[in-house]
Amino acid sequence: MTASLAPDRDAGAASAEPRGAAATTPLRYWIDDPAIGSVNMAADEWLAGVAVSAGVPVARFSTWSRATLSLGAFQAAAAVPADGLAALPLVRRASGGGAILHGTDLTCTVAVPRSHPWGGEAQRLYDEVHRALVGVLAAAGLRAALHPAVGDPGAAAAATEAFLCFDRRATGDVVLPAPTGRWPKILGSAQRRHHAAVVQHGSLLWSRNDAAGGPHARLGLADVAATAGVRLDPIGVRDAWLAEIAAAAGLLPALQPGCTWDADRAAIADLAARYGDAAWTHRR
């Protein structure tokens, strides 16, 4: 079936005090064209300044123009397994966590000024954005949960330092119930906490990515949903997710024209040059 993806205000746990108030302040957001890794990293960093200027969260959704491996800030480039992953374009994030195989995922970046209630403890922003997706999926008839989830055989497992993000579990990661084994993770996020803003980018694994070969392919949201008889529309999920994030923040979604690099081409080009520099990528 094709599920309705209209936001359900009753779905998911209550998240923030602004919900329910008449929102008038805009949550500016961009929906960017697919881009290479260095441009996506640059646009995410640029968003921090926008958030500081706005005084409230801002967001962008992005996809990747080709399969790419992104390293966490502290991961060693030499740790990339010498298999299909090593053949992919490589970019280093400013945020932490494990490596992500991009290409079939949707990246949701939220930048928040440190003065905002979501700019304090790291877990708060993580949970707000992730819980928003859980609510969207609930409205679509798909149960999702935040790790550690009751009933997940992997909920009590010790944290690992697996190379890939989707093989790790952190509190608040979004997982989907599975009939057997550890529940698959479909959304994980990482933050870069600047002096005046926090930038969090989350990767929603939409479908299986075979770009690096079978050993690194993981089921995505659409794959798991299909086994449950739920057919999801990526654009509908994206738009409903943004609406839920805005509602949780007490803001009114305001789609910005064009892409982030149209908004500030020179600044993003400068940042992209740094993220595209081998000295940055191989700094560790």
Q: From the CB of 51, what's the least distance to other proteins, in Å?
A: 14
Cα distance between residue 210 and residue 254, in whole Å = 35
Establish if 94 lies at the interface with other proteins (CB under 8 A). yes
Per-residue mark of binding to other proteins, 140-159 (x: CB under 8 A) = -------------------x
Q: Is the preceding omega at residue 148 within 30 degrees of 0, hence cis?
A: yes
Sequence letter at residue 162: A
- The piece of 62-70, 121-129, 215-223, 254-262 that touches other proteins (CB under 8 A) is 121-129
Candidate residues 63, 70, 95, 104; the one interacting with other proteins per rule CB under 8 A: 95
Residue numbers 184-243 binding other proteins by CB under 8 A:
189-195, 198
Candidate residues 53, 115, 160, 227; the one interacting with other proteins per rule CB under 8 A: 115
Q: Which residues are catalytic?
A: 165
Q: From the CB of 3, what's the least distance to other proteins, in Å?
A: 30
Length of the chain counted residue by residue = 284
Candidate residues 126, 166, 183, 241; the one interacting with other proteins per rule CB under 8 A: 126
Candidate residues 81, 89, 96, 154; the one interacting with other proteins per rule CB under 8 A: 96
Give buried/exposed letters for 91-105 (b at 16+ CB in 10 A, else e).
bbbbbebbbbbbbbb
Structure tokens at 199: 């930038």
Structure tokens at 229: 């008889």
Candidate residues 34, 120, 213, 258; the one interacting with other proteins per rule CB under 8 A: 120
Q: 9 or 114, CB closer to other proteins? A: 114
Catalog residues that contact other proteins under the rule CB under 8 A: 72-74, 94-97, 114-123, 126, 159, 170-171, 189-195, 198
